[in-house]
Amino acid sequence: MPEFQWDMTYVLGIEELDVQNKLLRDLVKKYFDDFKRSDITVPSLKSTLRVLLAHVGFQFDFEELCMKQTQYVNSEEHKKEHEHFRTMVYELLGLPEERVKQALDQTMRLNNWVQYHMLKSDARFAQYILSSNRQSDRIFQCDSTVRQLIQKYLRE
């Protein structure tokens, strides 16, 4: 199963979006790593999926708010991708216990979605923000100490 290796090609240049994408990648990687373990229990796998769902609930809402505030033209298309990811997670959560550890294709699709979405759709949105100088908007401003911590986390 291919690993999703984080590197600086995933960094969009907007810390508030980058830190959330790195967290998303870390959670999907945890699910992948756990999925491969023979000693993992299904409740534990489902618990990771619920954490993932909680995280994307925050992340996607934040991104969508940014899109609204910056009047991003491709927001509807982007939101549909977010919804598709949530649906995939809900489908895995809804699987009967005996099928969760067999769901290799579905697990790989989560991984592929995250890579594709970050490199294409999120990158496109970040480019829009950067090219229109919208990163100075209040929504993108965080404390300089937080910014330093994020920068460190993104390089790990």
- The residue within the footprint of Fe ion, chosen from 122, 126, 129, 135 (CB under 5 A), is 122
Tokens of 2: 């291919």
> Rounded to an integer, what distance in angstroms lies between the CA atom of residue 117 and that of residue 100?
24
Mark the segment that binds Fe ion (CB under 5 A) among 29-37, 41-49, 118-126, 140-148.
Answer: 118-126
Query: First-to-last CA distance in the chain?
Result: 22
> Residue 36 or residue 80: which is nearer to Fe ion going by CB?
80
> Rounded to an integer, what distance in angstroms lies between the CA atom of residue 110 and that of residue 35?
12
The contacts of residue 85 (CB under 8 Å, 6+ apart) are 56, 60, 110, 113, 114, 117
Q: How far is the CB of 69 from Fe ion (least distance, A)?
A: 15
> Residue 92 or residue 126: which is nearer to Fe ion going by CB?
126
Binding to Fe ion (CB under 5 A) within 55-84 occurs at 63
> Residue 18 or residue 92: which is nearer to Fe ion going by CB?
18
Q: How far is the CB of 122 from Fe ion (least distance, A)?
A: 5
> Residue 16 or residue 122: which is nearer to Fe ion going by CB?
122
List the one residue out of 53, 62, 51 whose CA is nearest residue 142.
Answer: 62
Residue 18 near Fe ion by CB under 5 A: no
Q: How far is the CB of 79 from Fe ion (least distance, A)?
A: 9
> Rounded to an integer, what distance in angstroms lies between the CA atom of residue 24 and that of residue 31?
11
Q: How far is the CB of 67 from Fe ion (least distance, A)?
A: 9
> Residue 18 or residue 122: which is nearer to Fe ion going by CB?
122
How many CB atoms sit inside 10 A of residue 92's CB? 22
Binding region for Fe ion (CB under 5 A): 63, 122
